[in-house]
Amino acid sequence: MLVGPNGSGKSSLLRLMAGLIKPATGNLKWCREEIYEDPENHSERLHYVGHQDAVKPALSVFENLLFWSSLRNGNCENREATKKALNTFGLGHLEKVPGRFLSTGQKKRVDLARILVSPAPLWLLDEPTAALDKETITSLESAIDYHCTVGGMVVISTHSEIKLPRHQVINLAGFSGTHIE
């Protein structure tokens, strides 16, 4: 879990881990392999949830989610898994509602459901709880907990309380202004 004041570099660190930006110096390794050697392989093993929710206003909640899942799974539409992911975050009843009618929190939930439809070992969540209600935070906590029990990794940046049974907190405030060689 990454904590620290605004501007301390939490989002940048997550984007760095996702391979969206490249470090000025140093490198990033996964199982002793440089990730920039094979960026496609790296992006296949991670899910990134950023500040924007990537929900298309013209598509329904279900279609939005189905697109991301079929992009991951090579065009086979996994309707069952998509439905299940929607229900996890209490979106089952909104399935057919177009994205433009959703509230900020609901869009965030659609975005979070995306990480459940296709498996990936590494989850990078950038302030996932920002717009969520208590109930959804609880479902997210249990989803993260389950993901960790089956051997997955999660990196979260947050300002609010997320209850997780075992986690390591890294305070980025301590690193501000330092230059690590």
Binding residue for another protein, selected from 14, 48, 85, 125, defined by CB under 8 A: 48
Q: Looking at 63-71, 86-94, 152-160, 167-175, which segment touches another protein (CB under 8 A)?
A: 63-71
Q: How far apart are CA 81 and CA 91, in angstroms?
A: 13
Which of 139, 172, 138 has its CA nearest to residue 155? 172
Binding residue for another protein, selected from 5, 7, 22, 171, defined by CB under 8 A: 22
Q: Diameter of the chain by CA atoms?
A: 51
Give Cα separations from 171 to 90, 113, 151 (angstroms): 32, 28, 24
Examine residue 62 and tell whether it contacts another protein (CB under 8 A).
Answer: no
Contacts 24+ apart (CB under 8 A), 21-29: 25/181, 26/180
Binding residue for another protein, selected from 1, 3, 28, 54, defined by CB under 8 A: 54
Examine residue 55 and tell whether it contacts another protein (CB under 8 A).
Answer: yes
Q: Looking at 18-26, 28-36, 157-165, 167-175, which segment touches another protein (CB under 8 A)?
A: 18-26
Q: List the interface residues with another protein, window 64-123 (CB under 8 A).
A: 67-68, 70-72, 74-75
Q: How far apart are CA 125 and CA 113, in angstroms?
A: 12
Which residues lie near another protein (CB under 8 A)?
A: 18-22, 40-41, 43-44, 46, 48, 50-56, 58-59, 63, 67-68, 70-72, 74-75
